[in-house]
Amino acid sequence: MRWRFYLLEKITSFLKDKKRPVVIILLLAVGLLLLTLSSCPEKETEEAVEKTLEEYKAELEDELESACSMVGGVGKCRVIVTFERGTENSYKGSQLLESKPPRVMGVSVICQGADSASVRSEITEMMTALFDIGSNRVAILKLGA
């Protein structure tokens, strides 16, 4: 805490010396440059988060397809996930503190074994358990030829 007061005193005494106007102008220019640069990373961070959201969705769907394929009788399948909203970000100033993945709103599973009641039941049970969603938010459809 003391070093802040010491630094503030040094800066104040430096600025009172009228023989250094060029240095003061230079310091102001550097300060403006730093302010300009500090606002740019926030935009880049938001773009990176959006790109990550797309990647997260693709990875999640791939993992779910793999998990569904392990269930007996499912056969070939495709999974589509929808989200309630995007990633939730917590900022302090322009710094990203935390990024929470989006909440799953619904899941559609298109598979060869969808005509089997036991397959539909097992997939529905798996999806409701994984995402804490109601069974009305899980759709199991027959894969076309």
Domain ranges of the chain: 2-142
CA distance 39 to 46: 12
Per-residue model confidence as pLDDT tens digits over 107-133: 999 999 999 999 999 999 999 999 999
pTM of the model: 0.62
Pick the CATH number of 2-142 from 3.40.50.300, 3.40.50.720, 3.10.129.10, 3.30.300.30: 3.30.300.30
**Cα–Cα distance for residue pair 122/98, rounded to 1 Å:** 34
User: What is the three-class DSSP state of 92?
Assistant: strand
Q: Rounded to 5 degrees, what angle do the CA atoms 71, 73, 77 make?
A: 75
For residue range 71-113, list pLDDT tens digits in order.
Answer: 999 999 999 999 988 888 888 888 888 888 889 999 999 999 9
> In the chain, how long is the greatest CA-to-CA distance?
88
